[in-house]
Structure 1
């Protein structure tokens, strides 16, 4: 039998949290690289090498942009996880009453058999009137 919605949401949220942890690890390594690049930039600036300073500054910008992208993707993952949890709560609130509704409303779908287009009335048709 397929897993219930609660178990499925639990597995999805578990995998989302794992992805968030990997993003955190990547952010930490980028922070460390950024600190190293700053140190190198200061050392090269003291020596007066403008070409190396320029390349290190570009590298710093790239690392910061990459870190910003990782932060936004982590926020999106967190948002998806929260939406899953909210949807599960809404489903749990509706699910206990749905079997009763299903049994009570079985008679509502007794449409006249007329080609499967819904209720058939003598005075309405679904196209241009031809005489």
Structure 2
């Protein structure tokens, strides 16, 4: 009977509110999982930084390669932390959306009408641009349009870039290395010497270990990209 009534007359305001809250909770759980995964990735990256630094100290013949590898891992940690901060901000925005939506429905019960909110619309639009939430946030925006809380949104927001200036990047990398290595900042390689992916310049004794490091770096980058998309 309830299904027939909803089909004929549409969902009640309470049903709309419950569906909107369910979508918000679904998005919040997704963000929590991604933040947790980034935390694990950050912990692994820290381990790789320590291992590369120790290898540079233990084997002078591998020092240059290990130092470059250490800075590459540190740069990955900078990107991971930036992504974690972005997701934490998005979770706060999502919580704000939930509060504003519940407030809008509460006013509707009291006043019998509902006012469109540009604030909710702005937050939802920003959250749609976050790759992790695009699908479910579009579904939430459609429900909010049906409820009369926001205007129908047109166009797509451009995703936020994760690029930053080289000078700024090197400063952040130095901060990460100082933190992880307890102030024992390794020597910098020149920009021409720093490869996008660590490579072996000459045969080394611990070849298996180095290959494992490179493979793990590739896997970390893949996981980070997956979390961002």
The answer for the alignment partner of 2:92 in structure 1 is 75
Q: TM-score, normalised by structure 2?
A: 0.41
Q: TM-score, normalised by structure 1?
A: 0.70
The answer for the alignment partner of 2:108 in structure 1 is 91
The answer to whether structure 1 residue 12 and structure 2 residue 25 are counterparts is no
Pick one of 14, 23, 48 that aligns with 1:40. Answer: 48
Task: List aligned pairs for 1:45-124, cutoff 5 A.
Answer: 45-48=53-56, 49-95=66-112
What is the deviation of 1:60? 0.2
What is the deviation of 1:5? 1.4
Divergent runs of 4+, >6 A: none
Tell me, which stretches of 5 or more residues in structure 2 are unaligned? Answer: 1-8, 57-65, 114-229
The answer for the alignment partner of 1:26 in structure 2 is 34
Secondary structure of 2:11's counterpart equals coil
Radius of gyration: which is bigger? Answer: 1
The answer for the alignment partner of 1:126 in structure 2 is none
What is the deviation of 1:9? 1.4
In structure 1, C-alpha distance between the alignment counterparts of 2:10 and 2:97, rounded to whole Å:
22
Secondary structure of 1:70's counterpart equals helix
What per-residue deviation string (whole Å, max 9, x for no partner) do you get for residues 13-42 of structure 1? Answer: 111101100110010011001000101100
RMSD between aligned alpha carbons?
Answer: 1.2
Secondary structure of 1:44's counterpart equals helix
In structure 1, C-alpha distance between the alignment counterparts of 2:15 and 2:92, rounded to whole Å:
23
What is the deviation of 1:94? 1.1
What is the deviation of 1:47? 1.3
